[in-house]
Amino acid sequence: ETGVTQTPRHLVMGMTNKKSLKCEQHLGHNAMYWYKQSAKKPLELMFVYNFKEQTENNSVPSRFSPECPNSSHLFLHLHTLQPEDSALYLCASSQLAGGLPEQYFGPGTRLTVT
Amino acid sequence: DQQVKQNSPSLSVQEGRISILNCDYTNSMFDYFLWYKKYPAEGPTFLISISSIKDKNEDGRFTVFLNKSAKHLSLHIVPSQPGDSAVYFCAVNQGGKLIFGQGTELSVKP
């Protein structure tokens, strides 16, 4: 695998379900990000992890729970979501500490909450 | 209030002509600017960037121009090709975080 991978690519879940999104980066980066993209809106930053430590939570509701066990893996645990949470969820990675700020994105998970 | 704006939601260009995508930002302290390209069902792909110490950066058919006094960024694609049809996002760096515009959908017609 190369670059940034995300699974699953598509997910349909009910409001009472619990599911998790997975992201893995194969670029040797030390920072990882979760973004949400809703239709016709800019990408919204949700969470930032630097060297496995969460450094940013952009006022995200607690029904979204991130986990970063190491610099290569990032999860987003979902529970009791609302229909308005339906969106494309994108993971990205970058190299901090002397690197340029370019972030590299995975293909995203298209989430539908019914 | 949005710090990064792409005021044109869509742009249609004939193959072989120039495509010009525009982006405005509000904060003169931003120091690094990026363009991403996104195809449907894929994540954004990094295209080209420019530091605030420059006013132009070129990479093949893609050139980014930065006008700091106007707080304006533009991406020129020449010649445009049908494979360039995608959504283009500009982004600015703020302390290691990227702030994105809402995107412009470019359609290049054969």
Mean pLDDT by groups of 10 residues along chain B of 110 residues: 91 98 94 94 93 96 97 98 97 89 96
Identify the pLDDT of residue A94: 93
Facing residue for B43 by CB, picked from A41, A94, A105: A105
In a 13 Å sphere around the CA of B17, the CA atoms on its Cβ side amount to: 12
Residues B107, B110: Cα–Cα separation, whole Å:
10
Residues B35 and B25 sit within 8 Å (Cβ to Cβ): no
> What is the SS3 assignment for B35-89?
EEEECCCCCCEEEEEEECCCCEEEECCEEEEEECCCCEEEEEECCCCHHHCEEEE
Residues A101, B97: Cα–Cα separation, whole Å:
8
Whether residue A42 and residue B102 make contact (CB cut-off 8 A), yes or no, is yes
Q: Does A48 touch chain B (CB under 8 A)?
A: yes
Whether residue B96 and residue A40 make contact (CB cut-off 8 A), yes or no, is no
Strand partners, A110: A10, A88
Residues A114, B59: Cα–Cα separation, whole Å:
44
Residues A20, A5: Cα–Cα separation, whole Å:
14
Residues B45, B39: Cα–Cα separation, whole Å:
9
Both ends of chain B: CA-CA distance in Å?
38
Which of B66, B89, B64, B87 is closest to B77 using CA atoms?
B64
Facing residue for A108 by CB, picked from B43, B89, B101: B43
In three-state secondary structure terms, B31 is coil
Whether residue B41 and residue A107 make contact (CB cut-off 8 A), yes or no, is yes
Residues B33, A20: Cα–Cα separation, whole Å:
32
Residues B49, B56: Cα–Cα separation, whole Å:
10
Whether residue B100 and residue A4 make contact (CB cut-off 8 A), yes or no, is no
Both ends of chain A: CA-CA distance in Å?
32
Binned average pLDDT, 10 residues per bin, chain A of 114 residues: 91 93 95 91 91 88 95 95 95 82 94 95
Identify the pLDDT of residue A97: 66
Facing residue for A106 by CB, picked from B43, B101, B103: B43
Quick one: how far is CA A27 from the chain centroid?
16
Whether residue A42 and residue B42 make contact (CB cut-off 8 A), yes or no, is no
Phi-psi map region of A79: left, alpha, beta (phi>0 left; psi -120 to 50 alpha): beta
